């Protein structure tokens, strides 16, 4: 049972609160951006939860072996926006990363380097790359920028972060890139409880936006690639965990997205390599009910990851605390309400 903070989410205040609340709700793992500030925020949240009796969850950080929607930020220059625009971009953003109050100072991304002082209409720290704003702009002003970690940065960063587990996002068609990333991880020399492999049906091809929304490969090819990654992970001496990515970063869109990850597992049949299977990408509070209708399929599922739906649930309370100028964890009347909501999502999976 994993809480997914987001591979490119750097909203430190929210991460600290959500890490604390979901740790206290009982998740076993927190999946975070590979960023020292993010991991430090999550560890503060874990300490908050441990002080209230929680067991310490694993800290997992996410890496990618190439372009991936989880590792990007939206960007646009608000000076180009017509003054009478109804701002559909702002309305569709689930992370409140496109503020109404006009241009924001361009942040310097800790991953991608300089922005040349450019002013961005997107609050970089909050953007987690879901991509919903990209088609929303009628003028096509919003672009996406990759947040890929340079090869040389991987080993020292991991040695600094010392995570319990790593998730490596990969794509069909990238066995070589996966091998290179895996080698960088291995050279960090840190003991890992698991190396999770996140893979879905999307194929590695450009351009990035259509790739994210486009059709994917057949299941046969996905099976081949899963077994390729299995051989690589075992050869590197790690224990694999399979994260089947149904529909990335969409669990809050609607109940129907739950079908994506469950359907992907159903299509794979019994052909997933050895190792626990975790569903993610579209997972939400409907996922368990879908599995309950398919006991043979459910027997193959070790766990689940909740990302956008977990944040959406607690967002009103995060905002209420923010309006008071305190964190949610400091708001003694609010965090118990948040805990009830978090537990409602987590507890059925813990009971299972
Ligand atoms: S990519 Fe998603 S999180 Fe980022 S600004 Fe666009 S809608 Fe918001
Ligand atoms: S929808 Fe496009 S034009 Fe309108 S505010 Fe957003 S980025 Fe600017």
* pLDDT on residue 255: 80
Backbone φ and ψ for 213, nearest 5 degrees, come out as -105, -10
Rounded alpha-carbon distances, angstroms, from residue 54 to 88, 243, 316: 40, 25, 24
One digit per residue, pLDDT tens: the chain, 352 residues? 999 999 989 999 999 999 999 999 999 999 999 999 999 999 999 999 999 999 999 999 999 999 888 899 999 999 999 999 999 999 999 999 999 865 444 444 433 333 555 678 999 999 999 999 999 999 999 999 988 899 999 999 999 999 999 999 999 999 999 999 999 999 999 999 999 999 988 776 543 333 333 445 688 899 999 999 999 999 999 999 999 888 878 888 888 888 888 988 998 888 999 999 999 988 898 999 999 999 999 999 999 999 999 999 999 999 999 999 999 999 999 999 999 999 999 999 999 8
Q: Which of 94, 120, 147 is the last residue of a domain?
A: 147
Tell me, in angstroms, the distance from the centre of ligand 2 to residue 96's CA.
Answer: 14
Whether residues 172 and 215 fall in one domain: yes
Q: Which two tokens stand for residue 83?
A: 């003054």
Look at residue 261 in the predicted model and tell me its pLDDT.
86
Same domain for 301 and 238: yes
Where among 124, 147, 170 does a domain terminate? 147
Q: Can you give the pLDDT at residue 188?
A: 95
| Tokens representing residue 153 in the block | 């940065």
Q: Are residues 155 and 276 in the same domain?
A: yes
Q: Whose CA is nearest to atom 7 of ligand 1?
A: 93
pLDDT of residue 204: 65
C-beta 137 within 6 A of ligand 1: no
Is 227 in the same domain as 302? yes
Distance 87 CA to ligand 2 centre (A): 5
The reply to whether 172 and 279 lie within a common domain is: yes
| 335 in a structural domain | no
CATH number at 219 reads: 3.20.20.70
**Same domain for 44 and 159?**
yes
In this structure, the residue with its CA closest to atom 2 of ligand 1 is 130
Based on the fold, state whether residues 208 and 295 are members of the same structural domain: yes
Same domain, 143 and 217: no
Does the residue 323 lie in any domain?
no
Residues 165 and 257 in one domain: yes
Q: Is residue 270 part of a domain?
A: yes
Question: CA-CA distance, 339 to 352, in Å (whole number)?
Answer: 19
pTM as predicted: 0.89
Are 298 and 210 contained in the same domain?
A: yes
Burial tier of 308 (Cβ tally within 10 Å: 0-12, 13-18, 19+):
buried
The answer as to whether 218 is a domain residue is yes
Residues 169 and 248 placed together within one structural domain of the fold: yes
Q: Is 30 in the pocket of ligand 1 (CB under 6 A)?
A: no
CB of 32 shorter than 6 A to ligand 1? no
- Number of domains into which the chain is organized: 2
Whether 321 maps to a domain, the answer reads no
pLDDT at site 270: 87
Q: Which residues line ligand 2 (CB under 6 A)?
A: 76, 81, 85, 87-89, 136-137, 139, 141-142
131 in contact with ligand 1, CB cutoff 6 A: yes
Q: What is the CATH number of the domain that holds 137?
A: 3.30.70.20
Q: Judge if 61 and 81 occupy the same domain.
A: no
Cβ–ligand 1 contact at 133 (below 6 Å) = yes
SS3 letters for 294-352?
A: CHHHHCCCCEEEECHHHHHHHHHHHHHHHHHCCCHHHCCCCHHHHHHHHHHHHHHHHHC
Report yes or no on 324 lying in a domain.
Answer: no
Number of the ligand 2 atom closest to the C-alpha atom of 76: 7
Centre of ligand 2 to C-alpha 142, Å, is 8
> End of a domain among 147, 168, 188?
147
Q: Which of 81, 86, 103, 120 to mutate to test the pocket of ligand 2 (most atoms within 8 A of CB)?
A: 81
Pairing mode of beta strands 72-75, 143-146 = antiparallel
Owning domain of residue 188: 2-70+149-313+343-351
Whether the CB of 130 sits within 6 Å of ligand 1: yes
Give residue 7's Cα distance to chain centre.
5
Let me know if residue 325 belongs to a domain: no
Q: Is residue 337 part of a domain?
A: no
Q: How far is the CA of 89 from the centre of ligand 2 (A)?
A: 6
């Amino acid at each position: 049972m994993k809480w997914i903070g987001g591979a490119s989410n750097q909203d430190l205040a929210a991460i600290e609160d959500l890490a604390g609340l979901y740790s206290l709700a009982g998740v076993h793992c927190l999946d975070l951006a590979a960023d020292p500030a993010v991991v430090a925020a999550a560890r503060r949240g874990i300490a908050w939860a441990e002080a209230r009796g929680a067991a310490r969850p694993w800290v997992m950080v996410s890496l990618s072996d190439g372009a991936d929607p989880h590792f990007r930020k939206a960007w646009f220059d608000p000076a180009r926006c017509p003054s009478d625009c109804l701002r559909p971009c702002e309305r569709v953003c689930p992370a409140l990363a496109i503020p109404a109050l006009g241009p924001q100072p361009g942040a310097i991304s800790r991953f991608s380097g300089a922005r040349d002082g450019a002013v961005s209409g997107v609050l970089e720290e909050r953007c987690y790359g879901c991509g919903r704003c990209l088609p929303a702009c009628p003028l096509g002003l919003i672009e996406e920028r990759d947040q890929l970690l340079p090869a040389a940065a991987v080993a020292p960063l991991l040695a600094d972060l010392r995570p319990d587990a790593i998730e490596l996002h990969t794509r069909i068609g990238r066995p070589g890139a996966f091998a290179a990333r895996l080698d960088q991880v291995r050279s960090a020399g840190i003991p890992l409880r698991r190396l999770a492999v996140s893979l879905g049906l999307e194929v590695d091809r450009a351009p990035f936006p259509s790739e994210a929304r486009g059709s994917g490969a057949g299941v046969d090819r996905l099976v081949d690639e899963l077994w390729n990654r299995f051989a690589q992970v075992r050869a590197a001496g790690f224990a694999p965990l399979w994260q089947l990515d149904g529909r990335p970063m969409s669990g809050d869109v609607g109940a129907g997205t739950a079908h994506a990850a469950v359907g992907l597992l159903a299509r794979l049949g019994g052909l997933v390599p050895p190792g626990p299977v975790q569903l993610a990408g579209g997972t939400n509070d409907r996922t368990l009910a879908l599995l309950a209708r398919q006991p043979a399929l459910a027997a193959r599922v070790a766990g689940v990851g909740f990302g956008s739906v977990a944040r959406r649930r607690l967002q009103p309370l995060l905002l209420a605390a923010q309006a008071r100028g305190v964190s949610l964890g400091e708001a003694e009347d609010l965090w118990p309400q948040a805990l009830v909501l978090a537990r409602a999502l987590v507890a059925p999976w813990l009971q299972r």
